[in-house]
Amino acid sequence: MLSSSTVMSPNADATTNAPDLLSSLRGVCDRHGLESLGRDLSGMSELVRSDMRDVEVFLDAMPFDDDAVRRSAGHLVARGGKRLRPMCVSLASRLGTGFDERIRDLAVAVELVHCATLLHDDVVDVGDRRRGAPTARVLYGNAASIFAGDWLLVEALRLVRRSAGGDVLERLLDRIDAMITAEAIQLDKRGRFEASEEHYFAIVDGKTAALFRWAMYAGGRGGGLAVERCEALERFGRGLGMAFQLVDDALDYEGTSAVLGKEPFADLREGKMTYPLLVAARGDADVRALLERAAKDESTAFGDEAVEIVAKGLAATDAVAVTRRLANEHVDRAIAELSGFEDGPAKRALTIVARATVLRDA
Amino acid sequence: MLSSSTVMSPNADATTNAPDLLSSLRGVCDRHGLESLGRDLSGMSELVRSDMRDVEVFLDAMPFDDDAVRRSAGHLVARGGKRLRPMCVSLASRLGTGFDERIRDLAVAVELVHCATLLHDDVVDVGDRRRGAPTARVLYGNAASIFAGDWLLVEALRLVRRSAGGDVLERLLDRIDAMITAEAIQLDKRGRFEASEEHYFAIVDGKTAALFRWAMYAGGRGGGLAVERCEALERFGRGLGMAFQLVDDALDYEGTSAVLGKEPFADLREGKMTYPLLVAARGDADVRALLERAAKDESTAFGDEAVEIVAKGLAATDAVAVTRRLANEHVDRAIAELSGFEDGPAKRALTIVARATVLRDA
Q: Cβ A146–B155 below 8 Å, yes or no?
A: no
Q: Residue B6: phi, psi to the nearest 5?
A: -80, 110
Closest approach of chain A CAs to the CA of B280, in angstroms?
A: 29
A–B: how many Cβ contacts below 8 A? 108
Tens-digit pLDDT profile for residues B161-193: 999 988 999 999 999 999 999 999 988 887 666
**B158 closest CB neighbour out of A69, A155, A173:** A173
B142 close to A (CB below 8 A): yes
Task: With beta carbons under 8 A apart, name residues in chain A contacting B66.
Answer: 184
Dihedral over alpha carbons A155, A157, A160, A163 (to 10 degrees) = -60
Residue A20 above 90 pLDDT? no
Q: List all residues of chain A from 244 to 303 with a beta carbon under 8 Å from chain B.
A: none
Closest by CA to A51, choosing from A359, A362, A349, is A349
Could you confirm whether domain B17-359 is CATH 1.10.600.10? yes
Q: Please, what is the end-to-end C-alpha distance for chain A in angstroms? A: 26
Tens-digit pLDDT profile for residues A86-123: 999 999 999 999 999 999 999 999 999 999 999 999 99
pLDDT computed for residue B359 by the predictor: 85
Tens-digit pLDDT profile for residues A219-229: 999 999 999 99
The amino acid present at B92, given as its one-letter code, is A
Mean pLDDT of B347-353: 91
- CB atoms under 10 Å from CB of B205, counted, come to 19
Domain boundaries, chain B: 17-359
B140 close to A (CB below 8 A): no
| SS3 per residue for A24-40 | HHHHHHHHCCCHHHHHH
Tens-digit pLDDT profile for residues B337-347: 999 999 988 99
Tens-digit pLDDT profile for residues A123-159: 998 888 888 899 999 999 999 999 999 999 999 999 9
**A185 closest CB neighbour out of B67, B149, B180:** B67
Residue B234 above 70 pLDDT? yes
- Separation between Cα atoms, residue A355 and residue A338, nearest integer Å: 13
ipTM: 0.88
The answer to whether the CB of B211 falls within 8 A of the CB of B241 is yes
Q: pLDDT confidence of B284, banded at 50, 70, 90?
A: very high
Closest by CA to A109, choosing from A75, A69, A155, is A155
B185 close to A (CB below 8 A): yes
In sequence order, what are the beta bridge partners of A130? A133
**B124 closest CB neighbour out of A67, A146, A153:** A146
In sequence order, what are the beta bridge partners of A347? none
Residue A165 above 80 pLDDT? yes
Q: Cβ A143–B188 below 8 Å, yes or no?
A: no
Q: Kind and range of the H or E element at A129?
A: strand A129-130
- Separation between Cα atoms, residue A69 and residue A80, nearest integer Å: 18
